[in-house]
Amino acid sequence: MNKRLLSVLCCPVTHKGLSVVRPDHLKKINTAISEGRLANRDGAILSESLKEALITDDGKIMYPVNDGIPVLLEGASVELNQLD
Length of the chain: 84
- What is the spatial distance between Cα 17 and Cα 1, in angstroms, rounded to a whole number? 14
Per-residue pLDDT reduced to its tens digit, 37-63? 999 999 999 999 999 999 999 999 999
pTM score, whole prediction = 0.92
Question: For 59-78, how does the pLDDT look when each residue is reduced to its tens digit (9 = 90+)?
Answer: 999 999 999 899 999 999 99
pLDDT grade, residue 82 (50/70/90)?
Answer: very high
Contact criterion met (CB below 8 Å) for 56 and 18: yes
Q: For residue 2, name the pLDDT band (cuts at 50, 70, 90).
A: confident
Cα–chain center distance at 44: 14
Q: Give the pLDDT of residue 7.
A: 83
For 13-25, what is the mean pLDDT?
A: 95
CB 55 within 8 Å of CB 61: yes
CB-CB contact of 33 with 50 (8 Å): yes
